[in-house]
Amino acid sequence: MSDTHLDPARRHDAVLLFDVTDGNPNGDPDGGNQPRTDDETGQGLVTDVAIKRKIRDTVALMRGDDPKFGIFVEAGHALNTRIEEGLKANPGRADEAQRWLCEHYFDIRMFGAVLSTGTTKGGAGQVRGPVQLTFARSVDPVLPTDHAITRVTQTRQDDIDKGERTEMGSKWTVPYGLYQARIFYSAPRAGKTGVTSDDLAVFWRAITLMFDHDRSATRGEMKLCGLYVFSHPDALGVAPAASLTERVSLSRDNTEKPARHHLDYQLTLATDNLPEGIEFTPLVNLWP
């Protein structure tokens, strides 16, 4: 396999495919934690924020002891405290503080961050990250289902004293959905944040592992089905991203019954006659 997808000086466009079985891939807190959907088409949605959260958590598992791979947006840690840390290390120099923060936090280098919320006036500005992800959208409409559940432990002692033995609840799932997201990497922006080939290796590796280390009963079974990278020969690129990512397409021959597995879909990789200089790397592909 070529390692061009690890070159930080090249532009990369990628397609991410994953599925969910009997789970809630991304609940909507404004909708009673129902699985997110497009109200007009019924297709399932998973936000870019949810995907980046999984990547961040996996990077922390992979390289948590490496000071260059800290995670800036992390539960239990105030952002302003970390911004002030960078400002104190570089007093009076917001640009140097920004560079310091990029060097110490993987997710700032890759995804960018708003660093202007520090207590020092102006903070450390704003970093536009080189990696951007779209929402993931299911290929077909999904059918969110609300399941009534019971448990034998009450929330309140008063209910037990009254003689109640069970408590009702609910759980939302999607029976099945195959989702697609797109990933875009800008080499010029990566040059400004200091992205290295090691960063890209960790990034792609984290995606391949993230569902295996983010298990929960709520999310059911989620698995990575495909990860396909189109690498350009230079920093700016030689073709529109859409003309490349659309070469990864999915279809179903049998629409008489609902899909329940990724192999119910046919994958087409139209990688012949790629624009000159474009290299294609299938990092993960579960289709035969």
What is the pLDDT, as a whole number, of residue 119?
74
* pLDDT range class, residue 187, cuts 50, 70, 90: very high
**Coil vs helix vs strand at 134:** coil
* pLDDT range class, residue 232, cuts 50, 70, 90: very high
Decide if 118 contacts 100 (C-beta within 8 A): no
DSSP state string for 58-95: HHHHHHTT-GGGB-SS-TT--HHHHHHHHHHHSTT-HH
Distance CA 188, CA 210 (A): 27
Q: What is the pLDDT of residues 10-62, one digit of tens each?
A: 999 999 999 999 999 999 999 889 999 999 999 999 999 999 999 999 999 99
Decide if 51 contacts 136 (C-beta within 8 A): yes
What is the pLDDT, as a whole number, of residue 169?
79
Decide if 149 contacts 49 (C-beta within 8 A): no
Domain borders along the chain are: 4-65+129-285
Query: Which residues are CB-contacts of 193 (< 8 A; sequence separation ≥ 6)?
Result: 102, 108, 109, 110, 112, 127, 129, 130
Strands 43-46 and 145-151: unpaired
Residue bearing the bigger pLDDT, 91 or 151:
91
The angle that helices 197-209 and 48-63 make with each other, rounded to 10 degrees, is 110
Token couple for 109: 């280098």
Q: What is the pLDDT of residues 126-164, one digit of tens each?
A: 999 999 999 999 999 999 999 998 877 777 888 777 877
The residue to which tokens 């298990």 are assigned: 215
* pLDDT range class, residue 123, cuts 50, 70, 90: confident
* pLDDT range class, residue 90, cuts 50, 70, 90: very high
CA dist list (Å): 141 to 23, 41, 181: 15, 7, 15
What is the pLDDT, as a whole number, of residue 152?
79
What is the pLDDT, as a whole number, of residue 121?
75
What is the pLDDT, as a whole number, of residue 44?
98
Distance CA 82, CA 142 (A): 40
Query: Which residues are CB-contacts of 58 (< 8 A; sequence separation ≥ 6)?
Result: 206, 207, 209, 210, 213, 214
Token couple for 56: 């961040």
Distance CA 188, CA 235 (A): 6
